[in-house]
Amino acid sequence: MISPNGASGTRVIAVDAMGGDHAPLEILKGAIEANARGVSVVLVGQPRVIAPVLEQLNSRLPIVEAEAAIAMDEPVGLALRRERSSLRVAAGLVSSGDAHAVVSAGNSAAIMGIAYQAWKMLPGIDRPAFGGFLPARTGPVFVLDIGANTTVKPSHLVQFAVMGSVYVQLSQGTENPRLALLSNGTEDSKGTKEVKQANETLRKLDLNFLGNVEGNQVFEGIADVIVCDGFSGNILLKGAEGVVNEIFDMLRTELTKDLMSKVAGAALTPAFTRIKRRVDYEEYGGVPVLGVNEIMINCHGKSHAKAITNAILLADRMAKERLPQRIREALLEDTGDASRRRRLVRALHLSHE
């Protein structure tokens, strides 16, 4: 039994101390900061690697012993067979009730695979999904799936819509989030046959569904949740990341061209910092694997301490809000209106596909 070491009550967050490009140093720094902000944390990994760094950082956070992390390029099949990897041991702590959520900046495919293997799917959900936040005019927009499911059935898109809606409600405090399907045109007739059929189904459900949106509209903040297959979601997210990087790169080049540009650029540093901050993934920390029975927060492999701290705070909040249970309730919602419930269950497993 791990005794809680924070102020957050009895919840404990298991942190994969070995996963990520900057593990263990940045992971430990992030965990220490989250702990200082009141969250109980347990580190999972090889004591001989973690302990010296922890000592350097003057911290006594508890360590649960595991073997090395799953490598970033390790095939998932292989990774799932390693019973003592830091990620697997961390997931096991949640299964045994010793922890209440896992945070990892490790191999994303393995993170999803282990979440599924250890905890199984929520009833009514066929596949786990990853989401990600994109910065839009009005604030962050949640896009899912962004890579777990390269191809999808219409019913998967409907399931993503329900899960995304609950997650944005809990994590952003948005009441009744506006949902939209990502497509190559706003008309209901636009998109792949999966998008068209999901559109038709979502129109019949009691969700705040706006219809189809195009890539540019995502950034106008037209919706709070953007639903798509993992292939196009990944392209949207990575493409946006690429554009942001290139524009800031051009700005850097332009602002060092001559003395006047340098002076003007220096005066604008706070403005650029504010903009950069709005488009910075580290602010969001990480995103959960949606659809499984417990909470697993996946951080960018490149995460530094700030992202890890934010991910741990998020994990703690999602554990407090009981994210998986809330998704389950949304799926099985019994408002006394049996026909609505039947409609939703049918929509989640469309028979005609």
Interface mask toward a second copy for 109-148; x: CB under 8 A? --------------------------xxx---------x-
Q: With contacts defined by CB under 8 A, name the span among 41-49, 85-93, 226-234, 338-346 that binds a second copy.
A: 226-234
56 binds a second copy (CB under 8 A): no
Please work out the total of residues on this chain that contact a second copy, with binding judged by CB under 8 A.
Answer: 56
Q: How far is the CB of 227 from a second copy (least distance, A)?
A: 13
| Contact yes or no for 155/133 (Cβ under 8 A) | no
Beta carbon nearer to a second copy, 67 or 280: 280
Beta carbon nearer to a second copy, 52 or 185: 185
Taking alpha carbons only, the member of 305, 249, 309 closest to residue 276 is: 249
200 binds a second copy (CB under 8 A): no
Burial of 150 (0-12, 13-18, 19+ CB in 10 A): exposed
CA distance 331 to 341: 8
| Contact yes or no for 101/297 (Cβ under 8 A) | yes
301 binds a second copy (CB under 8 A): no
- The DSSP output letter for 71 is P
192 binds a second copy (CB under 8 A): yes
CA distance 45 to 42: 10
- Candidate residues 76, 265, 341, 350; the one interacting with a second copy per rule CB under 8 A: 265
Find the helix packing angle between 154-172 and 193-204, rounded to 10°: 60
235 binds a second copy (CB under 8 A): yes
236 binds a second copy (CB under 8 A): yes
- Candidate residues 250, 302, 332, 353; the one interacting with a second copy per rule CB under 8 A: 250
Beta carbon nearer to a second copy, 8 or 232: 232
CA distance 157 to 4: 38
283 binds a second copy (CB under 8 A): no
Beta carbon nearer to a second copy, 54 or 136: 136
214 binds a second copy (CB under 8 A): yes
Q: With contacts defined by CB under 8 A, name the span among 9-17, 166-174, 247-255, 291-299 that binds a second copy.
A: 247-255
CA distances, 212 to each of 33, 132, 261, 307, 343 (Å): 41, 19, 42, 32, 21
Q: How far is the CB of 237 from a second copy (least distance, A)?
A: 7
- Candidate residues 264, 302, 325, 337; the one interacting with a second copy per rule CB under 8 A: 264
The stretches of the chain forming alpha helices (DSSP H) are: 25-36, 47-56, 76-81, 86-95, 108-119, 154-172, 193-204, 215-219, 230-254, 259-267, 269-278, 305-321, 323-332, 338-348
Q: How many CB atoms are located within 10 Å of the residue 71 CB?
A: 14
186 binds a second copy (CB under 8 A): no
CA distance 329 to 331: 5
Beta carbon nearer to a second copy, 243 or 332: 243
260 binds a second copy (CB under 8 A): yes
- Candidate residues 254, 329, 337, 353; the one interacting with a second copy per rule CB under 8 A: 254
Apex 300 CA angle, 294 and 305, nearest 5: 95
Q: How far is the CB of 93 from a second copy (least distance, A)?
A: 30
Residues 21-50 that bind a second copy (CB under 8 A): none
The two beta strands, 286-290 and 296-299, are: antiparallel
* Contacts with a second copy, residue ranges (CB under 8 A): 135-137, 147, 150-151, 182-184, 190-193, 214-220, 230-232, 234-247, 249-251, 254-255, 257, 260-261, 263-265, 267-268, 271-272, 274-275, 278-279
